[in-house]
Amino acid sequence: MAARVSLRNIRKVFDDGSGEPLVAIDGISLDAAQGEFLAIVGPSGCGKSTLLKIIAGLIEPTAGAVEENGRRVSGPPERFVYLFQQYSRSLFAWRTVLANVMFPLEQVKGAKRTDIRETSRRLIAQVGLAGFEDKYPWQLSGGMQQRIAIARALAANPDVLLLDEPFSAVDALTRMELQTLVLELCRQNKFTAILVTHDVEEAVFMADRVAVLTQRPTRIAEIVPIELARPRNQLSTRENPRFLELRHHLMTALLGDMAEAAR
C-alpha cells in the first residue's frame, strides 16, 4: 500500500538564542497509508501538536521531510485540512455559519455563487447543523462550533484530515457524538486521517494504528495496531475486551514513560 503521508526522520529544534537549544522532536519517521486512520498519543508537552503542524506545512522541520504520495512537500499541501483544538478561534466570527462553510469554496476559480451556496448547505446538513445557516458561530455551543469547523474543512475538498485534539474542549457526550461523526465522514469519503490526542481511549476508539510518543526529546516509543472491527460503536466497541486490553497496554506505556521521567 502506498503511503499517503510519510514523515522522514523529522527533527525539530527550538533555538531562541538564549541558552541551550531545545530538542522538541528527535527523529520521527512515520507513514499513514491511503485511507488509514492514524492516531498519535503522547504525554503533554511532548510536541504532538508541533509534529502535526509540521505535517500541515505550518511549521518547518529543522531536518527531515514530509512527503505526500512520495513527493516532498513544502508549505500547506492542497488537499490537507486541519481541525484546530481552538475551533472558536479558528472560525470567522464575522461570518455566519453558511458564510464560514462557503469560505474555502469561494477561492475555487470559476465557481458559481449559487453552486457554492448549494454545496455549503449540503455540508452543513451533513454535520447536523441544518437550520443554523444564518446564525453566527458565537451564538452556538462549543460542539456545534466544531461541527461548523468540520463542515468548513469538508468544503475544502480534502482527502487528508489533520485533527489536533479537536474534541478536547467539549463535554464528554458531545465528544462521543463528534468522534462518531468524524469516523462516519472518513468512511464515506475514504479520508486519510491523522489524529493527535492525549486521550488514549479516543485514540483506540478511532484509529487503525496508534503511535505512542516519548517525553522530550520526542521519539516514537511504539506503534500499536488497533484491529477492532468497523464501524466502531460508542457502546459495543468501548465494552469490547480487546478495546480494554489495548487501552491498558497504551496506558501502561504512557504511564511508564512518565514514571521514568519522574525518576
Partner 1 sequence: MKETHVAGIIGLVSVMAVIGFWEFASDHRIVSPALLPPPSSVARALVTLIADGEIWQQLLHTVALFLGSYLIACTLGIAIGIWMGCSEFANGLLEPLVESLRPIPKSALVPALFLFLGIGPLTMVTVVVFAATFPVLINAYQGVRGLDPVLSDTARTFGCSRWRTIRSVVLPATLPAIFTGMKIALSLGIVLAVIAEMLAGQSGLGFIILDTQRAFQTDQMYAWVVVLAAFGAACSLLFDRIEKLAIPWHGR
State the residues that interact with partner 1 by CB under 8 A: 53, 56-58, 76, 78, 80-82, 84, 86, 89-90, 92-94, 103-104, 107, 136, 138, 156
CB of 163 to partner 1, least distance (A): 12
Closest CA to 127 of 106, 103, 143: 143
Quick one: 45 or 76, whose CB is closer to partner 1? 76
43 vs 77 by CB, closer to partner 1: 77
Our CB check for partner 1 shows the closer of 162 and 226 to be: 162
The cell numbers describing 118, all together, are: 448549494
Grouping H, G, I as helix, E, B as strand and the rest as coil, residue 115 is helix
Residues 197, 162: contact at Cβ < 8 Å? Answer: no
Write down the least CB distance from residue 95 to partner 1, Å.
Answer: 8
Of the two residues 3 and 156, which places its CB atom closer to partner 1 in the complex? 156
Helices 172-189, 142-155: inter-axial angle, 10-degree rounding:
10
Q: What's the min distance (Å) between Cβ of 90 and partner 1?
A: 5
- Which residue's CB is nearer to partner 1, number 27 or number 142? 142
Question: Which stretch of DSSP H or E encloses residue 209?
Answer: strand 209-213
Q: How many residues does the chain have?
A: 263
CA nearest 47: which of 214, 169, 201?
Answer: 214
Least Cβ distance, residue 205 to partner 1 (angstroms) = 25
In whole angstroms, the minimum distance from the beta carbon of 103 to partner 1 comes to: 7
Torsion of CA 196, 199, 202, 206, to 10 degrees: 30
